[in-house]
Amino acid sequence: MDLTPDQAANAVERNDCPKCEVPAGSTCRTRGGKTATKYHTPRFVLIAALREELEVLVPTDRSPDHPWKQGPAPTVVPAQRDAKPIRIGHAR
């Protein structure tokens, strides 16, 4: 990963999370509504620099394992991806 943990977190948070449905600008949530300790995989694979990573941790200043709070909206809305989504896993 060429990004620092804070840069990676900021890059991940530019997208909505397809798993926990948290809006852009906020960290991922657990089922209990607390801030997750790691970003969900479908969210961070959207960032080209992070696709090879196995996990991206939520920085401690974003309060992992504490009740979730809506973060500020990102200043720049990302452009729509032109590439096909990456398939992770295999189904029969």
- Write 76-81 long-range contacts (CB < 8 A, 24+): 76/14, 77/24, 78/14, 78/15, 78/24, 81/46
Question: Would you say residue 78 has pLDDT above 80?
Answer: no
Q: Determine if the pTM surpasses 0.75.
A: no
For residue range 4-48, what is the model confidence (pLDDT) as tens digits? 888 888 888 888 999 998 888 888 998 888 888 899 898 888 888
**Angle (nearest 5°) at CA 50 between 47 and 54:** 130
The residue among 67, 86, 65, 76 whose CA lies nearest residue 13 is 76
| pLDDT at residue 1 is higher than 60 | no
**71 vs 25, more confident:** 25
- Any idea where the domains of the chain sit in the sequence? 1-60
